[in-house]
């Protein structure tokens, strides 16, 4: 059977590998010149910039993915465990570094807030339960029916998952110090929504970051894409770049083919791994869409971001690989981007400096920087605004690092809402899909199957299980397995 997969991000690649492994004839169509979607990399005069993901968390998800094909992560790329995993910067003099050892993190907590090491232990014990339970029983479910929750012991554990409690309350109950609270809240803030809107279930993210640790794929995050690409090619997947799908042709409630700008591909099955809203609203006739524009308008999106990829012609001492600038008012930033949906007055931001770990990503003696400000999706994006925010964060970066940076920038590329739209057909220029609110979790997410077209499926960060690289990788496996089961 011929399967067409639209889009070559983690979800599309994962679907393609799963179905090719099950004997399907898979062709993957990607609109861009490179595969990898939001996880692409670009090069400039000795600098290698990962364009999107930089935090490699949940390492067991990647291992499990490759094991499915009797392979291992180490067959494709090398992982480096970062120490410190990351640092949080509160002002020029006060930073907290998170060690790769959980015992050292506990000692640090105890120093900042006496008694909090025990609270952290308990917090992480619960988070570990949520993580393991979710991995075993929840996250690989397609979310098509609430009956999935019966017969797997899920129902009786539902209270322990803290779905109805807010993550913010959960953190605040155990920790008083604002810095410790910020440390534990940042994982849901950067990849999801405001901590008060996020179910406490998502402390599982903190478990991954604090207990499992933060890893770096040697050579950059793109090595993961390259690894899965190699796996796909070995399994016989045909990958076609520069093939932007313009139309999914449906007859008698079945897809017959898809059309790109210059080709026509007949298909027995189509899996759309491009942004869901784009597929529904731009590639399908109205009567075949799963959701209309009002539905999408009511979704709570994760933040988008303003990014800067910088090449610096000198080393910068005070940075580590991952640096979170929490030197401004966190509540104000949250309120402005999530509730008011305006540009932040005084943004928190994140700086990745992979050249601290990897000599290959910058010329010798230089630094590779990736700066990210979380913003509201759909924000008005123009050159003037980008420059305005660039000024703000470069000043703060220089202040903290206590060195001149601006005059040492030899490469500067910005990336924001308009680029997400033109590169990925991203709804409102979203970066990380839908926010992890209660009513956008599991079965409440946009469905993986088209309700009217029998052989059309969806995967990726806008459907089950959600945003982030590990969930997108899982999403592709879920849909691949579902299709294989249906057509067996
Ligand atoms: C700046 C940034 C930082 C991030 N940081 C992290 C992180 O540190 N850790 C983490 O785990 N996650 C992170 N994420 C999230 C993670 O990158 C995404 O959740 C994940 O990569 C999404 O994969 P996907 O396959 O669903 O979508 P995508 O990667 O967007 O893939 C969709 C593909 O479909 C293609 N496409 C779109 N329309 C068409 C069409 N009409 N025809 C053909 N192809 C089409 C697109 O070009 C794209 O290649 C980050 C994301 C961003 C943007």
Q: 292 with 317, same domain?
A: no
Q: Which of 424, 448, 472 is the last residue of a domain?
A: 424
Atom of ligand 1 nearest to the CA of 460: 26
The confidence score (pLDDT) of residue 145 equals: 73
Q: Is residue 374 part of a domain?
A: yes
The confidence score (pLDDT) of residue 190 equals: 62
Tens-digit pLDDT string for the chain (488 aa): 999 999 999 999 999 999 999 999 999 999 999 999 999 999 999 999 999 999 999 999 999 999 999 999 999 999 999 999 999 999 988 999 999 999 999 999 999 999 999 999 999 999 999 999 999 988 999 988 776 666 656 667 777 777 778 889 999 999 999 999 999 988 776 667 788 888 888 888 999 999 999 999 999 999 999 999 999 999 999 999 999 999 999 999 999 999 999 999 999 999 999 999 999 999 999 999 999 999 999 999 999 999 999 999 999 999 999 999 999 998 899 899 989 999 999 999 999 999 999 999 999 999 999 999 999 999 999 999 999 999 999 999 999 999 999 999 999 999 999 999 999 999 999 999 998 887 888 888 999 999 999 999 999 999 999 999 999 999 999 999 999 999 98
Q: Is residue 123 part of a domain?
A: yes
CA-proximal residue: ligand 1, atom 25 (nearest): 9
Distances (CA, A) of 50 to 39, 160, 324: 7, 37, 18
Q: 259 with 314, same domain?
A: no
Rounded to the nearest angstrom, the distance between the alpha carbon of 118 and the centre of ligand 1 is 38
Q: 57 with 112, same domain?
A: no
Number of domain units in the chain: 3
Q: 157 with 167, same domain?
A: yes
CA–CA separation, 146 vs 443, rounded Å? 7
The confidence score (pLDDT) of residue 92 equals: 86
Q: What residues make up the domain containing 440?
A: 2-78+219-299+434-486
β-bridge pairing 47-50 and 41-44? antiparallel
CA–CA separation, 363 vs 359, rounded Å? 7
Q: 389 with 308, same domain?
A: yes
Residue to mutate, 50, 52, 229, 244, ligand 1, most ligand atoms under 8 Å from C-beta = 52
Rounded to the nearest angstrom, the distance between the alpha carbon of 423 and the centre of ligand 1 is 10
Residue to mutate, 40, 139, 469, ligand 1, most ligand atoms under 8 Å from C-beta = 469
Distances (CA, A) of 67 to 60, 150, 264: 10, 27, 35
Q: Is residue 84 part of a domain?
A: no
Q: Coil, helix or strand for 175? A: coil
Neighbouring residues of 125: CB distance < 8 A, sequence distance ≥ 6? none
The CATH number of the domain where 307 resides is what?
3.30.519
Q: Is residue 92 part of a domain?
A: no
């Amino acid at each position: 059977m011929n399967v067409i997969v639209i889009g070559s991000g983690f979800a599309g690649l994962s679907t393609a590998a799963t179905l090719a492994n099950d004997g399907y004839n898979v062709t993957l169509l990607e609109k861009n010149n490179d595969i990898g979607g939001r996880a692409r990399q670009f090069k400039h005069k000795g600098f290698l910039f990962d364009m999107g993901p930089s935090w490699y968390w949940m390492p067991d998800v990647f291992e499990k993915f490759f094991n499915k094909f009797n392979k291992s992560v180490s067959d494709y790329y090398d992982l480096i465990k970062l120490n410190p995993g990351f640092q949080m910067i509160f002002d020029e003099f006060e930073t907290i570094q998170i060690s790769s050892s959980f015992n050292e993190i506990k000692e640090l907590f105890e120093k900042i807030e006496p008694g909090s090491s025990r609270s952290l232990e308990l917090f992480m014990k619960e988070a570990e339960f949520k993580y393991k339970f979710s991995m075993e029983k929840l996250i690989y479910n397609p979310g098509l029916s609430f009956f999935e929750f019966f017969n797997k012991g899920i129902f009786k554990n539902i209270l322990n998952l803290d779905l109805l409690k807010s993550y913010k309350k959960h953190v605040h109950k155990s920790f008083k110090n604002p810095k410790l609270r910020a440390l534990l809240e940042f994982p849901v803030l950067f990849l999801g929504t405001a901590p008060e809107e996020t179910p406490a279930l998502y402390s599982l993210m903190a478990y991954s970051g604090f207990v499992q640790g933060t890893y770096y794929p040697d050579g950059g995050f793109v090595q993961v894409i390259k690894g899965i690409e190699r796996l796909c090619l070995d399994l016989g997947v045909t990958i076609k770049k520069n093939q932007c799908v313009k139309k999914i042709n449906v007859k008698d409630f079945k897809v017959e083919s898809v059309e790109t700008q210059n080709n026509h591909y007949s298909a027995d099955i189509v899996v759309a791994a491009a942004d869901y809203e784009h597929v529904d609203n731009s590639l399908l006739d109205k009567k075949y869409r799963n959701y209309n524009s009002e539905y999408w308008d009511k979704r709570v999106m994760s933040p988008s971001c303003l990014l800067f990829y910088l090449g610096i012609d000198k080393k910068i001492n005070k940075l580590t690989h991952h640096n979170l600038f929490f030197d401004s008012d966190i509540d104000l930033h949250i309120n402005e981007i999530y509730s008011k949906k305006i540009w932040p007055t005084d943004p928190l931001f994140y700086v990745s400096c992979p050249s601290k770990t990897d000599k290959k990503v910058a010329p010798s003696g230089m630094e590779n920087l990736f700066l990210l400000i979380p913003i509201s999706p759909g924000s008005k994006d123009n050159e003037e605004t980008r420059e305005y925010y660039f000024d703000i964060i470069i000043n703060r970066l220089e202040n903290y690092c206590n060195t001149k940076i601006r005059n040492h920038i030899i490469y500067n590329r910005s990336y924001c809402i308009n680029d997400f739209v033109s590169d990925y057909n991203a709804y409102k220029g979203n970066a990380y899909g839908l926010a992890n609110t209660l009513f956008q979790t599991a079965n409440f997410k946009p469905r993986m199957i088209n309700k009217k077209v029998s052989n059309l499926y969806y995967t990726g960060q806008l459907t089950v299980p959600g945003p982030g690289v590990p969930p997108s990788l899982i999403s592709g496996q879920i849909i691949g397995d579902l299709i294989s089961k249906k057509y067996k």
